[in-house]
């Protein structure tokens, strides 16, 4: 089934020099894909928030979702930034 796929025979499994480079690769990939998803989700929820009119229950639910997305972004981007700063002071490589 997969023998006619270009590059199939020369493909290599995930290779990394050490565990640190693998973990930073995962973090950077997570950041790369989460930022556009978060931006689209916040924009969509903002549109729904404007369209909700006088429905206060729906407004509070939408605000809760927006706050949860912002907290998630803070955790993803803030933790990686803080880890990079700490690693520079400890003497590791980033």
pLDDT in tens, 54-79: 899 999 999 999 999 999 999 988 88
What is the token pair recorded at 89?
């002071």
The per-residue pLDDT for 68 is 96
- Per-residue pLDDT tens over the stretch 3-27: 566 655 665 666 677 777 777 888 8
Q: What is the pTM of this model?
A: 0.68
Tell me how crowded residue 62 is: count the other CB atoms within 10 A of its CB: 20
What is the token pair recorded at 22?
């693998």
């Amino acid at each position: 089934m997969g023998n006619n796929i270009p590059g199939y025979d020369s493909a290599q499994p995930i290779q990394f020099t050490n565990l640190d480079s693998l973990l930073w690769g995962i973090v950077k990939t997570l950041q790369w894909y989460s930022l556009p998803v978060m931006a689209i989700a916040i924009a969509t929820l903002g549109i729904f928030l404007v369209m909700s009119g006088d429905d206060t229950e729906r407004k509070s639910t939408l605000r809760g979702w927006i706050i949860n997305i912002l907290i998630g972004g803070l955790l993803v981007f803030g933790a990686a930034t803080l880890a990079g700063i700490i690693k520079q002071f400890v003497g590791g490589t980033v």
